[in-house]
Amino acid sequence: MKYVFIVNPTSGKGKSLRFVPLIENYFKNSEEEYEIIYTEYPKHATEIAARYTEKDDVILYSVGGDGTATEILDGLDLSVRFGVVPGGTGNDFLKSIDVEKRTDEEILKASIEGEDIDIDFGLLNGKSRILNIVSFGLDAAINVYANEVAKKKKTIIPDKFIYFYSIFKAGLNPKRYHFKMTVDGKVYEEETIMVAVSNGKFYGGMFNAFPDANITDGIFDICYVRPMSLPRMIGLIGKYAKGTHQNESVCNCFTGKEVYIEFDREIPVQLDGENKLLKEVRIEMNKGQLKFRAPKFD
C-alpha cells in the first residue's frame, strides 16, 4: 500500500502546508511508502487523481479544503481508496464524521490509520461529483464573497467565521428566483432565495444546517428558503446555523434521492465551495460508491 498526499498549497491561506512536515515525520521510521504531490493550478488535483487505478494499490489523500477534496473526487477511479486531511478554511465535510477539536498530529494519524467505509456522493448534471453540498442562489452569492475574503493574505476574521461575516456583507439583500423542483417525482414550484441539497451535515465553516444528514444513508437532505423580510432573515440565520430552522414557515426541508431543478434564469451555484452559474440541474445520489478512509480516533 502506498499513501499519496495531494496537497493544495493555497488552501486555508497555507494551512495545508502545516501537514507536510507532519507527514514526513510520520513516515520517517516507517517501511510504508508515501508520496507528497503539490497542486499547481485549478483542477490539477483532478488530473493527479486520474493517474491512479486499483492496480496501483494506493490511498489518495486530499490535503486542503472541501474544494480540493471534490476536485480529487472528480478525477477519482472509484476503485481507489480516498481520504481527507482537513487543511482548508471550513473543512466541513469531515464534520459529518467528527466534530471534536483535534491537533494536526492527531488528525493526520487518525486519517492514515483510520477505518475503511463506503460513503455516498452526489452527481451534478452527470459529471460533477458532490462530496458535501451543492447550493443555489443566496448561499452561492455569499460563498463568492467569502472566497474573496479568504484569499486576502491578512484578515482579522478567523477562518471559521468568514462565511458568517460574509452573510452580513453580501447576503442581506438576496435576489428572488422562480424555480420548479422535482424530487423523487414530487413537484415543488414557487419563489425562493436559496436552495441547498446536501450529503453532509455542515457547510460555511460553522453551519450545522442538516443535523440529520448521514453520508451513508443514500439520501440527500434538501432545504429551500422562501423570500422574507430583513428582520425575519436576521432571526433565521442563528437557527439555520444550529439546524433548528426546519419548522420555520419560510423553510421547506425534506429528503430525496433524485433532484431536478429549473430556475427562471442562470443563478449562482456553489458546489463544495466552488462557484459557477447554472439554470437547470439534475442531481443524483450514488449510495455507498466512494471507498473512504475515515479517521479513527483513540
Strand, helix or coil for residue 138: helix
Half-sphere exposure of 245 (CA within 13 A, CB side): 27
DSSP 8-67: -TTGGGGGGGGHHHHHHHHTTT--SEEEEEE--STTHHHHHHTT--GGG-EEEEEEE-HH
Q: What is the CATH number of domain 2-123+290-294?
A: 3.40.50.10330
- With cell 440565520, the residue in question is 237
The pairing of beta strand 274-294 with beta strand 258-271: antiparallel
pTM, entire model:
0.91
Q: Nine-digit cell at 116?
A: 475503511
Alpha-carbon gap, residue 105 to 22, rounded angstroms: 7
Q: What is the pLDDT of residue 103?
A: 92
Domain ranges of the chain: 2-123+290-294, 133-285
Alpha-carbon gap, residue 267 to 265, rounded angstroms: 6
**Could you report the per-residue pLDDT of 128-180, keeping only the tens digit for each?**
999 999 999 988 888 777 777 655 655 667 766 777 777 777 777 889 999 99
| φ, ψ dihedrals at 55, nearest 5° | -70, -15
Alpha-carbon gap, residue 23 to 56, rounded angstroms: 20
Alpha-carbon separation of residue 44 from 61, 183, 278 (angstroms)? 14, 34, 23
**Could you report the per-residue pLDDT of 81-135, keeping only the tens digit for each?**
999 999 987 789 999 998 888 899 999 999 999 999 999 999 999 999 999 999 9
Tell me, which fold does domain 133-285 have in CATH? Tumour Suppressor Smad4 (2.60.200)
Domains 2-123+290-294 and 133-285 in one fold: no
Alpha-carbon gap, residue 293 to 174, rounded angstroms: 39
